[in-house]
Amino acid sequence: MTEIAEVPSMSLWDLCLQGGWTMLPLALLLLLTIYVFVERYLVISRASVEDENFMQRIRGYIHEGETESALNLCQANASPYSRLIAKGISRIGRPMNDVLVAIENTGNLEIAGLSRGLPWLATTAAGAPMLGFLGTVIGMVQAFYAIAQAGSSATIDSFASGIYAALVTTVAGLVVGIIALFAYNYLVARINKIMNRLEARTMDFMDLLNEPAS
């Protein structure tokens, strides 16, 4: 009976080492992606928390003319929604258009703050596959160079390392790019949801200023 030769196993670390120097920037991009995602996820999650009675209490304070109490409530709440309303309260007495512009500018700043770091994810999503492709080209060049050097005595071993580098970097680049893409789209969706709520609170506050005091 013919014995089948046992194929030596290769760990994930050994496989990554076969990818060459391009695996280093890909590893750094992966770490950056994880850091930005976790940090932004925590920030956005905190920003998503909203007190359901907040606007009702603000309405009561405004109708009673207690703008100072309303501002104190906004400061105690410390959320994008409360900072938005606080800006509007500080502009009470001015033309309605000025109040609206001040609130919208504050909302834009809040969204910009929540979006900080997301360009890194977008860049990684686009750049990581390109780095992987660069590693692929380098690996193929190494493989064909090894074949040319070996001449007629070329064997599989002559260019196997180049093929390893080509395939490993392609996979690594795609994996990092896909992770960054999903992370980016998820965070953008969460931010868009907050943006919609900010717009709703803006309209609620503008309607509140037009309500007659009870």
pLDDT of residue 1: 42
Q: Greater confidence, 43 or 51?
A: 43
Band (176; pLDDT cuts 50, 70, 90): very high
Least confident of 20-24, 31-35, 157-161: 157-161
Mean pLDDT of 3-11: 48
Say how far apart CA 71 and CA 89 lie, in whole Å: 7
**7 has a pLDDT exceeding 70:** no
Q: Which of 63-67, 83-87, 112-116, 194-198 has the lowest mean pLDDT?
A: 63-67
DSSP result, 100-153 = HHHHHHHHHHHHHHHTTTHHHHHHHHHHHHHHHHHHHHHHHHHHHHHHHHHGGG
pLDDT confidence of residue 5: 45
Query: Exposure of 10 by Cβ count < 10 A (0-12 exposed, 13-18 middle, 19+ buried)?
Result: exposed
Mean pLDDT, the chain, as a whole number? 81
Query: Given pLDDT bands bounded at 50, 70 and 90, which one contains residue 171?
Result: confident
Per-residue pLDDT averaged across 10-37, rounded? 75
> 34 versus 165: which is more confidently predicted?
34
pLDDT classification of 61: cutoffs 50, 70, 90 = confident
pLDDT at 38: 96
Percent of the chain with pLDDT over 70: 77
Task: Please list, in sequence order, all residues whose beta carbon lies within 8 angstroms of the beta carbon of residue 46, skipping any fewer than 6 positions away.
Answer: 79
Q: What is the pLDDT of residue 212?
A: 59
| Cβ atoms 85, 99 nearer than 8 A | no
